[in-house]
Amino acid sequence: MDLDVLNMFVIAGGTLAIPILAFVASFLLWPSALIRIYYWYWRRALGMQVRYANYDDYQFCYSYRGRPGYRPSILMLHGFSAHKDMWLSIVKFLPKNLHLVCVDMPGHEGTTRSDLDDYSIIGQAKRIHQFVECIKLNRRPFHLVGTSMGGNVAGVYAAQYPEDICSLTLICPAGLPSTTDSKFIKQLRELQESERIDRIPLIPSTPEEMADMLKLCSYVRFKVPQQILQGLVDVRIPHNDFYRKLFLEIVDEKSRHSLHENMNKIKVPTQVIWGKQDQVLDVSGASVLASAIPDCHVYLLENCGHSVVVERPRKTANLILEFLALLYSMDNNKKQA
List the catalytic residues. Answer: 148, 278, 306
- CB contact at 8 A, 137 and 75: yes
Q: Whats the size of the chain, residue-wise?
A: 337
Q: What is the CA radius of gyration of the chain?
A: 22
Measured N-to-C along each axis, helices 149-160 and 121-134 cross at an angle, to the nearest 10 degrees, of: 70
Return the sign of the alpha-carbon dihedral for residues 226, 227, 228, 233. Answer: positive
Amino acid at residue number 159: A
Return the sign of the alpha-carbon dihedral for residues 262, 264, 268, 270. Answer: positive
Cα–Cα dist 61/83, whole Å = 10
Strand partners, 255: none
DSSP 78: -
Cα–Cα dist 152/316, whole Å = 18
Residue 29 to residues 25, 34, 39, 234: CA-CA distances in angstroms? Answer: 6, 10, 18, 11
3-state secondary structure 211-261: HHHHHHHCCCCCCCCHHHHHHHHHHHHHHHHHHHHHHHHHCCCCCCCHHHH
Cα–Cα dist 228/214, whole Å = 12
